[in-house]
Amino acid sequence: MSADQLVVRRETASQTAGPYVHIGLQPEVAGFDIFENNFGHVLANERTKGQRIRIEGRVFDGIGTVLKDVLIEIWQANAEGRYAHPGDRQPGKSTDPNFRGWGRACTDFESGVYAFDTIKPGLVEGRNGRFMAPHVNAWIVARGINIGLNTRIYFGDEAEANARDAVLNIIEWEARRKTLVAERLDAKGDGGAVVYRFDIRLQGEGETVFFDV
Amino acid sequence: MGREPQSDAEFLIRDTTSHPIAYTPAYKTSVLRSPKLALISLQQSLSEVTAPVFRADELGPQDNDLILNYAKGGLPVGERIVVHGHVHDQLGKPVKNALVEVWQCNASGRYRHKKDQYIGAIDPNFGGCGRMLTDENGYYAFRTIKPGPYPWRNRVNDWRPAHIHYGVSGDGWVQRLVTQMYFEGDPLIRSCPILGVVPSEEQIRGLIALQDIGAFVPLDSRAYRFDIVLRGQRATLFENNVQKTAEGRPQ
């Protein structure tokens, strides 16, 4: 027996979140009211520091069907580029008491559109000091997805930073990098928020880059 | 075991043989929802090793009591059970303050969900969801009604074994996990196409809760035990840091 068999257990197997994921994670979307405090798609309040943005999009399957039963969670740094987590010890950056940087949204049962209302994250230093462009981490689950899919959302108006990003640059197929870049739209959202569109393609032409993290 | 991991310590790479692959034709919905291209392997940065921290005051006092948290003047119908267990990481460390969210159908096999059309009756006193944080030892417990089996459209006579869905958020973004818990002795376990995508008997066993007589509440409820293992977070043995700090890393 090798050492890893002695000390490293197996991770519990993943299973699909199923068609009724909303009951557990967003019961109001399933059609009922049960918890006083619900976790939702609005990450910023009126006191949160930073540029208001809205990230919206749709999720497509392998033949281009818009999926209406997907749940997406995002995790991001605040406007200074700091995560609200004790492990983040980047010097000179503070947490924002009005920003946790985490939210979840479901694709709409009619339109298939999901949306997050948040702020644009600042720069987070990459592994061993390497450069990373502003980005939001995303995790996608749904019926038919056996294990949650991890991806990143970058911003279309950060072309220079994106070109230097350590993670985008490890994707050897340059044409695929753009699947991680949200397009900045001309229209403004509520309160002047900048709107970005980030569509996710689970399979086939233009398949989104997913990461083994 | 050595010293406790730093809170920015890396997580073990995922052992993909512990999990179903994406494309599993016996579970038909996966066919068009499975990426065909290889996942891009990413060395972890702060973006991967951090995760949201949840506070007890964000949850309500009955959020982990599915027998009472939607009761409208009566009690839900069905077998009363307690489900409990520990959340550890792969190296045996308790995962403290993990957010555990559960959802399920009622005793008739019907979900309280606008998209569920099954003939099984809605229970006016049962919502079917709950949530809790693990304690200092990684322990969690909730009370509920045992869910029923139900048919689903895959092959025309496919039935889901009784199960409870779990979502777990741990210390790092890479630990995020959704899974399903099954019940010891359920004859539908053997033929379920969704459980059948799990790659080994050992991993299937890990999803089956055992009846736990020691935790029964006499004259009230039976109990099941379900332990969860998340990705392991390791101590940093040599300088290979996720982040640089102004003062450097004390060893």
Q: How far is A46 from chain B (nearest CA, A)?
A: 19
**Domain spans, chain A:** 20-201
CA atoms of B176 and A93, how far apart (whole Å):
26
CA atoms of B13 and B174, how far apart (whole Å):
9
Q: Structure tokens of B191?
A: 């033929």
Architecture of domain A20-201: Sandwich (2.60)
Nearest 10 degrees: Cα torsion B66, B68, B69, B74: 120
Cβ under 8 Å to B: A residues 129-158: 129, 132, 135, 137, 139, 141-150, 152
Instruction: For tokens 């376990």, name the residue.
Output: B189
E strands present in chain A = 52-57, 59-60, 70-76, 102-106, 114-119, 135-142, 149-155, 181-188, 194-197, 200-201, 211-212
| List of domains in chain B | 51-230 (2.60.130.10)
pTM: 0.96
Q: Which of A4-13, A32-41, B12-21 has the lowest mean pLDDT?
A: A4-13
Q: Structure tokens of B97?
A: 């303050």
User: pLDDT by residue (tens digit) across A67-112?
Assistant: 999 999 999 999 999 999 999 999 999 999 999 999 999 999 999 9
How many residue pairs bridge chain A and chain B with CB atoms within 8 Å of each other? 290
Is some CB atom of chain B closer than 8 A to the CB atom of A13?
yes
Q: Does the annotation mark B131 as catalytic?
A: no
* Alpha-carbon distances of A122 from A119, A158, A198, B251, rounded to whole Å: 9, 12, 19, 29
Contacts of B105 in chain A (CB under 8 A): 20
Contacts of A17 in chain B (CB under 8 A): 165, 167, 178
Q: Is B104 left (phi over 0), alpha (psi -120 to 50) or beta?
A: beta
What would the mean pLDDT of A195-205 be, rounded to a whole number? 98
CB atoms within 10 A of CB A129: 10
- Interchain pair B177, A204: CB under 8 A: no
- Interchain pair A13, B20: CB under 8 A: yes
Instruction: For tokens 């053997």, name the residue.
Output: B190
CB B206 within 8 A of CB B85: no
Name the residue among A19, A77, A89 with its Cβ closest to that of B115. A19
Predicted confidence pLDDT, tens digits, chain B (251 residues): 445 667 889 999 999 999 999 999 999 999 999 999 999 999 999 999 999 999 999 999 999 999 999 999 999 999 999 999 999 999 999 999 999 999 999 999 999 999 999 999 999 999 999 999 999 999 999 999 999 999 999 999 999 999 999 999 999 999 999 999 999 999 999 999 999 999 999 999 999 999 999 999 999 999 999 999 999 998 765 555 687 655 554 43
ipTM of the complex: 0.96
Instruction: For tokens 């281009």, name the residue.
Output: A64
The count of residues in chain B is 251
Cβ under 8 Å to B: A residues 44-83: 61-63, 65, 67, 69, 73, 75, 77, 83
pLDDT of amino acid B8: 87
User: pLDDT by residue (tens digit) across A133-165?
Assistant: 999 999 999 999 999 999 999 999 999 999 999
The backbone torsions φ and ψ at residue B144, rounded to the nearest 5 degrees and listed phi first, read: -160, -170
DSSP conformation letters of A30-84: HT----SS---SB---TT--S-EEEEEE-EE-TT-PBPSSEEEEEEE--TTS--S
Out of B165, B176, B222, B234, pick the active-site residue: B165
CB B209 within 8 A of CB B181: yes
Cβ under 8 Å to A: B residues 63-82: 63, 69-70
What 3-state DSSP class applies to A26?
A: coil
CA atoms of B209 and B179, how far apart (whole Å):
13
